[in-house]
Amino acid sequence: MISSAIEILNPRYPRGPFGAAVFDFDGTLSLLRRNWQEIMVPMMVDLLAATGTAESREQLRQIVEDFVARLTGKQTIYQMMRLAEEISARGGVPLDPLEYKHLYHDRLWEQVKWRVAAVRDGSVAPDALTVPGSRELLRELQSQSVLLYLASGTDLKYVRDEAALLQLDRFFGPHIYAALDDYRKFSKAMIVAQVLRDTGLPGEQILGIGDGFVEIEEIKKVGGFALGVASNEETREGVNEWKRRRLIEAGADAIVGDYRDLPALLGLLGLHTEA
């Protein structure tokens, strides 16, 4: 029997057997950058309002939330490119998208740096800033010879550092991929294609696990199993309804809020547990 903590959206989901899994990072495993949207969205609303548009801040917020959500999972630069387009559409003269990206990272880092420092000095345990059950899930998948890949839209230097800080890097070995200065050289579609090449597996034997639109779409394109993670990043409990709606729209096969009910989740994937 499937746990009530797992919402099945597609009863005809791929059954595997699964040989590889592609994980997103922020909001899927790591909570170091939790609620990053609450930095990005107001920043963008401010910049759009400064064009003198007649739209209200609430109207602008809805527009921004929609495109930020739709692009979640892609490299951050794509969200900034869209911001520049929206500024131009309102008669403004945008900066280079890279400048907006730097502005956003600077603002976000003001929050993230305290969490990073707390884990680094030992005052906060790494597991307190991960989605509950992350380490146990990764350990179980690895023990059952599922090859693990990490693919993040956050810049590679941050992902490597933060995965190591949370002691999650060991599960992925050399397979940690993330945003690059030359954004054309990385995408989640590229990583999914690489997984298929590396492993020789058919698409239906690939897992995709993430809280954003893009990873869900890319896994479904190759016929894999897409697990949407509607994590509540603030409370570390339950399901974030906003994420859930977006993940349903993206085509997720099933949704969880976290990985606490590990036996049920592994059962869903046709994997055994040690217990």
Q: What is the pLDDT of residues 48-104, one digit of tens each?
A: 999 999 999 999 999 999 999 888 878 899 999 999 999 999 999 999 999 999 999
pLDDT at 274: 58
Q: In whole numbers, what is the pLDDT of the chain averaged over residues?
A: 93
- Compute the distance between CA of residue 9 and CA of residue 21 in angstroms, rounded to an integer: 19
- Indicate the angle between helix axes 213-221 and 241-250, nearest 10 degrees: 30
Domain ranges across the chain: 7-31+127-268, 37-120
Q: pLDDT tens across 89-145, in order?
A: 999 999 999 999 999 999 999 989 999 999 999 999 999 999 999 999 999 999 999
pLDDT tens readout for residues 174-210: 999 998 888 888 899 999 999 999 999 999 999 999 9
pTM > 0.75: yes or no: yes
Residue whose structure tokens are 């059962």: 267
Biggest CA-to-CA distance, the chain? 62
Cα distances from 197 to residues 134, 145, 153, 192, 212, in angstroms, run 26, 17, 21, 9, 24
- CATH number (3.40.50.1000, 3.20.20.70, 3.30.200.20, 3.20.20.110) of 7-31+127-268 reads 3.40.50.1000
Which of 51, 97, 99 has its CA nearest to residue 71? 97
Kindly tell me if the per-residue pLDDT of 253 is higher than 50: yes
pLDDT of residue 3 exceeding 90, the answer is no
